[in-house]
Structure 1
């Protein structure tokens, strides 16, 4: 893989950095494609990333935030929030994007890396700060599973490369297995804001059942009012 181009101010420092991979938005949320148009899926992905970035940039205990993306619109969103950008030459998968960032942060002497997906719009600054504050001394590994205990919706690794990561189906169990194989015990945290990732139509209904005023809530309410959503999601949104 060609070396990435980074945009940053200074070096990472000996602290926790957050890493947010954002894939090319035109390919986002393919598992929603049966019911939702491509233009809506793109808007949804970018809006959820806005919510997650807003939460991350409000956490004062983070040394900084790094977005890994080659999507121009996602990079513009990152610049708007004043965060660091790591740009692969081509769209990297979730695992490759996170491990690329982990290598950069390890080389720069970061204490640890917190990574999460860009599709958990309910996550709050307080949840993120609490996760960081209660980490164990290095080497350590903290993980927050998705609501179905399939995916890994937050991982805090100290140091950044303490465990090779592998995202995808059943990644929560696989990450726990890898950590234990190294003689460490993963710290497992259940957190409602982290837990709800948006992959399937039913996840949008779960999101709207939890009332709020995130940018994602506002987008869905507007789309529902305009009659642009399937009936089940529209009813949940209104």
Structure 2
């Protein structure tokens, strides 16, 4: 029997303007291709939560009116942040909004996970029953999911080795914290190797962005 979800949880998805997304793929994808990829990943994330976790509310924070309009069409709450102070500042604002709306838990999920898995999200939610802070680590030591109770339990330290930073901050505050290594959640698409791995796992979905093995240039297939 499937376990009930946490009550009063809001999923927060930060998403920058597609024109500024996926800069680390500039060597192998054109600007138009990178923008299309970012939008594809973002909309897939919205669809996943809308249909697999319909009882959970979603808030999108972005510096793009286009992105917020798309999020609204998928039933998400929207928060505009001009983005000049970076991701951590945008998430601070989102956390303030989530708290003001009365949510008891907050789950931050990036918009560029190649393959969101329902069971992995359930694993996060179950872990939050025993921990104030739950971290799903990225392959490079970053944070690909952060579930906090209450939403403002810790400060946000997204950046290099952020999983360790979040864990240390929780420890300093005396909070119960657990870090998880979840195969699908560990893969966000930032660099060409990530895109190649995603293409191997889901060839039909990512074939548009397939990178030639030698030239590392986009193959139009």
TM-score by length of 2: 0.86
Q: Extract unaligned runs of 5+ from structure 1.
A: 1-13
RMSD: 2.4
Pairing 1:190–2:190 present: no
CA spacing shift, 1:80–1:145, aligned 2, 3 Å: same
Bigger shift: 117-126 or 41-50? 117-126
Partner of 2:159: 168
Partner of 1:221: 207
Partner of 1:159: 150
Residue 185 of structure 2: SS of its match in structure 1? helix
> Is the CA contact 1:17–1:62 (under 8 Å) kept in the aligned structure 2?
no
1:207 equivalent among 195, 198, 204? 198
Partner of 2:78: 85
What CA distance in whole angstroms lies between the structure 2 residues aligned with 1:103 and 1:64?
A: 15
2:171 equivalent among 145, 157, 180? 180
Residue 82 of structure 1: SS of its match in structure 2? coil
Q: Deviations over 1:168-208 (max 9, x none)?
A: 11111111111111112421122122110111100001111
Deviation of 1:89 after TM superposition, in Å, equals: 4.2
Partner of 2:136: 144
Q: Extract unaligned runs of 5+ from structure 2.
A: 1-6
CA spacing shift, 1:75–1:91, aligned 2, 3 Å: farther
TM-score by length of 1: 0.81
